[in-house]
């Protein structure tokens, strides 16, 4: 069974964004950075509140702008990181000439392997190399390593039943369960 589609920069950007949002290693790094930054922003106001001779509430009212910084950071940091990641992914995908990287793509789920064919050549991966299968509302990602996947937009299929049939072949031959997101 095979499907043919146009692979776009937006498709690859969607994969990068999904992977960065769901990767356990990247999630731990992001949480660690956010916690460290939040506590760094709290050092000065906490020091003032703990060392003042005035009542704590009165001091807190006096230094409210210092207390507002960590609160605003907590609210806006994650959306900013997502926006910045999307922006950086698009820049990285725009570097170089990328001749024949985007455009017509064919993914065949054969008896022995997955074969992706683009104008630049073909890539063949045995079914045993499939590590993870993920569906989102807009894409199918067939991971063949921790950071690499075949990216198949759902628009490659004219109906949901065609998509389900293709997904069924991939799950049957790879022996992997589907993880749905979104």
| Domain boundaries, given as residue ranges, for the chain | 2-8+102-180, 14-94
- CATH number for 2-8+102-180 (one of 2.30.29.30, 3.30.1390.10, 3.40.120.10, 1.10.15.40): it is 2.30.29.30
pLDDT tens for the chain, 182 residues long, are 999 999 988 899 899 889 988 888 888 988 999 999 999 999 999 999 999 999 999 999 999 999 999 999 989 998 998 899 888 888 888 887 777 778 899 999 999 999 999 888 999 999 999 999 999 999 999 999 988 999 999 999 999 999 999 999 999 999 999 999 87
Among candidates 176, 169, 147, which has minimal Cα distance to 23? Answer: 147
């Amino acid at each position: 069974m095979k499907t043919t589609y146009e692979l776009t920069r937006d498709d690859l950007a969607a994969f990068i964004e999904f992977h960065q949002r769901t990767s356990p290693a990247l999630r731990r790094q992001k949480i660690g950075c956010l916690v460290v930054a939040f506590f760094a922003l709290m050092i000065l106001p906490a020091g003032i509140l703990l060392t003042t001779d005035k009542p704590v509430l009165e001091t807190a009212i006096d230094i409210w702008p210092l207390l507002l910084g960590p609160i605003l950071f907590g609210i806006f940091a994650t959306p900013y990181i997502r926006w910045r990641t999307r922006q950086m992914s698009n820049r990285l995908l725009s570097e170089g000439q990328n001749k024949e990287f985007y455009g017509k793509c064919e993914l065949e789920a054969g008896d022995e392997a997955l074969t992706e064919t683009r104008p630049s050549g073909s890539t063949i991966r045995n079914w045993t190399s499939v590590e993870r299968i993920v569906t989102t509302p807009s894409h199918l990602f067939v991971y063949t390593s921790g950071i690499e996947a075949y990216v198949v937009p759902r628009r490659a299929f004219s109906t949901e039943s065609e998509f389900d049939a293709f997904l069924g072949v991939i799950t049957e031959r790879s022996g992997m369960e589907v993880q749905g997101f979104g």
